[in-house]
Amino acid sequence: MANLDDLYREIILDHYRSPRNRGELDAPGVVRTEGYNPLCGDELTVFLDVRDGIIVDIKLTGHGCSISQASSSMMSAAVKGKTVDEARETIERFKQLMTVHQTALDDRAEPVVADLRTMGELAALQGVVKFPVRIKCATLAWNTLSQGLDDAYGVQGTGSQ
């Protein structure tokens, strides 16, 4: 497992160099949501096409640091084709990864470690918590997605709790 950090670094670099789902969507019902991280200057616009509770397409535009770019690319790959409920679950798990780790570091307790089996590629971003100022770079995409899903439900009225 000595090379896990290298593997994680490779995953992040791969998404940064070859971002997934770049571009815009322009179809009826597409929801456009903007996110901004003033601490770093990261900007992100998420285009969501949600139909019958499924994210049938997602596109991203924007610019920012490597962490924000990689995280948004990974976010788009993780939720495309998934149901809104699954996407919200992934958002929660990702935020937990960021905050639980932070708490663990503060308490000098045993950190909760996510691995590729449970989190897929997203596990690669857990190293970000070692640099608290970058956490908002990593969570920007997820907060913007969360807002976009709220907006999508508002527009389409597909909410079914």
Footprint on this chain of Zn ion (rule: CB under 5 A): 40, 42, 64-65, 68, 137
Give the SS3 label for residue 109.
coil
Cβ proximity to Zn ion, 51 vs 63, nearer residue: 63
Q: Which tokens sit at 96?
A: 């937990």
Pick between residue 81 and residue 132 the one whose CB is nearest to Zn ion: 132
Nearest distance, CB of residue 158 and Zn ion, angstroms: 32
In angstroms, rounded to a whole number, what is the distance separating the alpha carbons of residues 19 and 46? 14
Q: Which is nearer to Zn ion, 12 or 137 (CB)?
A: 137
Count of other CB atoms within 10 angstroms of residue 53: 17
Nearer to Zn ion, 54 or 65 (CB): 65
- Smallest gap from Cβ 108 to Zn ion, in A, equals 27
| Nearest distance, CB of residue 57 and Zn ion, angstroms | 25
Locate the DSSP E strands across 4-159: 31-37, 42-51, 54-63
Distance CA 85, CA 107 (A): 32
Shortest distance, CB of residue 133 to Zn ion, whole angstroms? Answer: 9
